[in-house]
Structure 1
Amino acid sequence: MKMAVVISLLLAFCLLLGGSAFAATPLEGLLPNGNFEEKPKPTNLKKTVLKGKYSLPKWEINGFVEYISGGPQPGGMYFAVAHGVHAVRLGNDASISQTIPVKPGSLYALTFGASRTCAQDEVLRISVPPQTGDLPLQTLYSSNGGDTYAWGFRATANVAKVTFHNPGIQEDPSCGPLLDAVAIKEFFPPMPTRDNLVKNGGFETGPHLLINSSNGVLLPPRQEDLTSPLPGWIIESLKAVKFIDSKHFNVPFGLAAVELVAGRESAIAQIIRTVPNKFYNLTFTVGDAKNGCHGSMMVEAFAAKDTLKVPFKSQGKGRFKTASVKFKAISARTRLTFFSSFYHTRVDDFGSLCGPVLDQVRVLPVA
């Protein structure tokens, strides 16, 4: 009897702890039917066109939406579907959406495979009210067209309606972005530590990596730090920055880093707290991802009024080096900015943009 009481008390204690533990477990993985492999009923398809608002399982559709199988298409086109067999194509002013449970105030990143099909100026609009963003798909970062992106949002309620929309109008109504997988990841906000004033300085906290994410995940331009898919960091440039992992790339430290894939148009920044007139030491590591990116590279770093240019001769073998600069804070907030001076493509694939790797960014006060 005593044993039963003890077990009951232990179970109650575990449930109490487990409730908070489960509540603290971040959400991560594909959305329901996030890879579109759960097929619509044959009666809901006319050739490739989906018929009916709820014809695509787990999703709500509006407008001209096609259910596509990867590979050669009628008319001589070829659609790369990197994350499975099936995808959806959003025609003129068409959209797909799904409502998901979230935690108010929490930061999330959507990871999705997206590419343009037949129009040069295709745009994919992502929205989770009240936030919305337009993702230009003109630039192909990899030659196979199977780019993967991440987009961040902060939840304002218990549920969030995630919508992917093609705002464009083309002569051919079937022209539009291809979406081949959608996943989500919840983040705990990174904080400065006693050893580093930079939040997420090693880029260990980043978006979900889809299966077959061998090209990395592109972080779209103009992402503010409050909703960035790379927590703590601002993508303030005209082009994307790439989040890369140690499974598919050479990463100097830990499990992840960023690759500055579009020269001066690929910049990453963070604003840190500093004490005016105090001196600080900024250190960071640059290298190559061992992905065929070669040549004379240079990373430029800015901190307050100080600048450091770090040259790096890449032979594509995964080497790296660490650089440092001492700077004087001029205000209570100091912006750190990094970008690549030059443009690079892979030696085995001139259609794929690449660049130097940035990792292990640290700032400490000078004693």
Structure 2
Amino acid sequence: MAELYDLTIVGGGPAGLYTAFYAGLRNMKTKIIEYQSNLGGKVLLYPEKMIWDVGGQPPTLGERFGKQLIEQGLTFDPTVCLDTKVERIEKDEHGSFVLLTNNGEKHFSKTVVMANGGGIISPLRLELEGAEKYEMANLHYTVQSLNRFRDKTVLISGGGNAAVDWAVELLPIAKKVIVIYRKDTLSAHEAQVEQLKESNAELLLNTTIETLVSNQEKTAIEEVVLQVEHTGGNVSLKVDEVLINHGYNRDISLEFPQALQPELVDDYYFKGDSTGKTSQPGIFAAGDILTFEGKVNLLVGAFQDAVNAVNQAKQYIDPKADKFGMVSSHNETFVERNRKMISKLLEQEHEYQQSSVTNK
């Protein structure tokens, strides 16, 4: 039989990574199984967005915040399986959970924390024949670098939060921002919509992309032909970059035997409580995948979910265990780590002072 873990986490995004960190604090043998080829989750989709709403954390770029999450999540050296999709969870004759994956492997665990957020997500592609050939040129589904769009004419298709957010972000960078949306009202947050409407961006509602026209070399999009619903006519626009934000596909193919199936909401989200419990003993959840009354759908909420789920998993394995882990300032686990970090900081401060004296 394969190695048995105390806790296996399905998903390596913010909720899963903090679950791994806190499980390490509680001396639990932990594994993370992540479908993507890297850890970090949806935070990595927005590398140049500023994250403001995490307590005690100054405004931080998504890319940096993601790296910090990963570093923290790996503090206690959990086993990490990337490019691995959990397809089914069962129980064996010993009462252990068996996680069956797409590569035919079986992973064994005393408890499971579902931290797979909105599922395995991939952006909805533009449904035009031949559009994929421009994806290596100037057709985008996310923004990896704002500087890419500097002084360019950018067409953004979509009316949700992602589309409007990127439009607002690009306003001071791009030469011109054009937003088109198939409906007559944008569906993004009202504050962002208001900011967009008050800007010099061009907004075209009831409008969709009909054709992409390539340049002479057939290597990139040079012009976009739009269909305007209320006139029934077409409009052609010269563009430098095209950004598509039509939403995401969500893979919900994870299966359970009927007797082990946790209660769901909307056929996907686990119905639980504020302690991270689901309707199935031993299966817990954290982050966007978990729903309960009073749920906070922010990063800070995901971190609290993770702590609660780990504490419940610890007590599930050992009912005599403490209900809560010891805070880091009192935890012996960090004594040696803190000593080394403080020593390094003092050394850097000394070098800085010496350098200041020398340069005077």
The TM-score bracket by the shorter chain reads under 0.3
Greater RCO, 1 or 2 (C-alpha within 8 Å, sep 6+): 2
TM-score by length of structure 1 reads: 0.22
Say which structure is richer in strand. Answer: 1
Task: Please identify the structure whose Cα radius of gyration is greater.
Answer: 2
TM-score by length of structure 2 reads: 0.22
Say which structure is richer in helix. Answer: 2
